[in-house]
């Protein structure tokens, strides 16, 4: 069993998804280490865990709201979209990855925080999608946004994922 699989099973065991009646999930809020890659792993684990435990809503009216188009939200929306779930992505800034996209002074590396563990110097994120290489934050963000836009067209994510930017208020009509 590889490290990634173990890590997924640990995630699955750590959270009793069936007891979460509110169906509201937070990515990494209580975790000790928050990096771009760790948030992407959490997003992929969450989508897979919800799918595997039967907690992902399905059917015509089923809808999932992802709040925040940072790297965690974007990866989660992409994962849910590839599982053919309808997603509404809400972001208060004017575009995705706004914290990184205009920063050309900070160097990001996907694995350096894992030092001295194995493969800490691997410069590629090695994910199923939304991959990135070590580089300046702005360049990483622009590459991720380009991949996201490509997925919207080529993988038809646009038919299931709706994005809203500059969001300040949300009105949820009462169900009849």
> Smallest distance from the beta carbon of 164 to ligand FAD, in angstroms?
9
Query: Using the rule CB under 6 A, which residue among 23, 52, 92, 164 binds ligand FAD?
Result: 92
Q: Which stretch binds ligand FAD (CB under 6 A): 5-13, 45-53, 66-74, 115-123?
A: 66-74
Q: Could you tell me which of 76, 107, 103 has the C-alpha nearest to residue 89? A: 76
Q: Whose Cβ is closer to ligand FAD: residue 54's or residue 116's?
A: 116
How are the residues of the chain apportioned to helix, strand and coil, as percentages rounded to the nearest 5?
Answer: 40, 10, 50
Helix (H/G/I), strand (E/B), else coil: 56: coil
What 8-state DSSP symbol labels residue 123?
-
Using CB under 6 A as the binding rule, the residues of this chain from 7 to 36 that contact ligand FAD are 27-28, 34-36
Instruction: Tell me which residue has its CB nearest to ligand FAD.
Output: 70
CA 20 to chain centre: 20
Q: Using the rule CB under 6 A, is 167 a contact of ligand FAD?
A: yes
Residues 6+ apart with CB under 8 A from 158: 152
Total residues binding ligand FAD (CB under 6 A) = 22
Q: Using the rule CB under 6 A, is 73 a contact of ligand FAD?
A: yes
């Amino acid at each position: 069993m590889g490290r990634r699989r173990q890590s997924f099973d640990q995630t699955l065991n750590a959270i009793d998804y069936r007891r979460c009646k509110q169906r509201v999930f937070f990515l990494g809020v209580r975790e000790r280490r928050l990096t771009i890659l760790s948030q992407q792993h959490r997003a992929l684990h969450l989508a897979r865990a919800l799918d595997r435990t039967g907690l992902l809503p399905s059917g015509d009216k089923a809808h999932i709201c992802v709040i925040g188009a940072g790297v965690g939200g974007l990866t989660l929306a992409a994962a849910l979209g590839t599982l053919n779930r309808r997603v509404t992505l809400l972001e208060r800034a004017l575009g995705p990855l706004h914290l990184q996209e205009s920063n050309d002074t900070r160097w990001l590396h996907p694995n350096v925080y894992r030092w001295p563990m194995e493969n800490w110097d691997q410069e590629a994120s090695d994910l199923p999608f939304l991959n990135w290489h070590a580089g300046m934050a702005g360049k990483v963000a622009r590459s991720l946004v380009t991949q996201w836009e490509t997925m919207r067209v080529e993988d038809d994510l646009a038919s299931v994922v709706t994005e809203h930017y500059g969001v300040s208020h949300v009105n949820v009509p009462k169900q009849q």
